[in-house]
Structure 1
Amino acid sequence: MANPAKAKGTAWESAWTAYIKEHHNPAAHRSVQMGAKDIGDVSGYFLHAAELKAEKTITLSSYIEQANKEAVHAGQPFGCAVVKRRMKGTADGYVVRDVATDVRLMNRFRDAEELLKEYQFDVWYEHDQQHRVAA
């Protein structure tokens, strides 16, 4: 690849896709670019259009704006930017959303947890214990 910046971006997309395949969704894959109707860089991140960035200068506002547009194009309820952290591995990168998107996501989680807790408490309890790992 002649363009070093593009090569870095492609390497980040590939590394993040491999990480998501292993830890989240084995069917995740890099998306085909669609120009003005782009759907994000990686498909298979549950409920999200993911816009991946590996740049020296980080401009969150433009990343989030792009991710939110791509979520609409992809038919996903949430957009996020996945930003490479310089000199760190994939798991140390950042997933970034605007506050409005994050609140909508947290409301969805809250409502789903309450429904599960109300209708299948034992299943909810097991689920809660499994995912109650401190950062």
Structure 2
Amino acid sequence: MANPSKAKGTAWESAVRDYMNKALGLVDETGKFVDIFSALNVRRAAQEGARDVGDVHAAPFVLECKDVKALAVPAWLRQAHVEADHAGFPYGVVVHKLRRAGVGKGKVHFGVRTWTRARLALGVTTTQMRERYAFVPAVRGLASARWYLTTDLEHFTRLVADLRTAP
């Protein structure tokens, strides 16, 4: 791969995919899918050009993966929401690599609406959602469109497992 930034992004996407598949019990000890045809397998999406469908699909989420120093979370979340719509998934989130930390410590950012919809689908209170999945709010000014909630990939993977088994 000629572009070093693209190679770095691809490596982060693959690390996120592999971490989630292992944590969700979707791969065996060698890293091969237990059921290759399962819609629950976490996969890297093929590039779609103008109608991009996100970097990683972890039903019911589209993950936009970022391995950059400078944070631009509100813009990234707008991108994740558009890509989730393109892919036909209900939720779009951003997974940002945390420097000098393991994959499970990567930061997962939710827009307020996505967080609320996931919370309601789980049937938990705001306090339960915040405590169970270790969410921390970021309030940027008066415009709620710039607000978001953050957890780590370890807690997010638990949230995905719980959403998949929610009634």
TM-score, normalising length: structure 2: 0.63
- 1:30 corresponds in structure 2 to 44
Cα deviation for residue 25 of structure 1 reads 6.2
C-alpha distance in 1 between matches for 2:50 and 2:92: 16
SS at 1:11's partner residue?
Answer: helix
Separation in structure 1 between the aligned mates of residue 64 and residue 113 of structure 2, nearest angstrom? 17
TM-score of the superposed pair, with normalisation by structure 1: 0.77
Structure 2 residue aligned with 1:47? 60
Q: 1:82 Cα shift?
A: 0.7
Secondary structure at the counterpart of residue 123 of structure 2: helix
Matched, 1:5 2:18: no
**Once the two structures are aligned, what percentage of the paired residues are identical?**
40
Please give the per-residue CA displacement for 1:55-97, whole angstroms capped at 9, x wherever unaligned: 1111101110010001111111110001111111100001111
Residue 54 of structure 2 contacts residue 64 of structure 2 at CA under 8 Å; is this kept in 1? yes
The amino acid of 1:102's aligned partner reads W
Aligned residues: 111
Q: Provide the rounded CA distance (Å) in 2 between the counterparts of 1:30 and 1:101.
A: 21
Q: Secondary structure at the match of 2:64?
A: strand
Q: Which amino acid in 2 is paired with 1:57?
A: A
Opposite residue 74 of structure 2, the aligned amino acid is S
- Aligned partners of 1:57, 1:2: CA distance in 2, in Å? 23
Counterpart among 78, 99, 110 of residue 86 in structure 1: 99
Matching residue's letter, 2:17: T
Q: Which has the larger radius of gyration?
A: 1
More helix by share: 1
**Gapped regions of structure 2 (runs ≥ 5):** 27-40, 125-161, 163-167
Quote the RMSD (CA, aligned, Å).
Answer: 1.5
Please point out which of 64, 68, 75 is paired with 2:81: 68
Map of 1:107 onto structure 2:
120
Amino acid at match of 1:21: N
Which residue identity lines up with residue 56 of structure 2 in the other structure?
V
Distance of 1:76 and 1:2 partners within structure 2: 32
Tell me the SS of whatever aligns to 1:97: strand
Q: Displacement of 1:24 after TM fit?
A: 2.2
User: How far 1:46 sits from its partner (Å)?
Assistant: 2.6
Task: Give the unaligned 5+ runs of structure 1.
Answer: 112-130
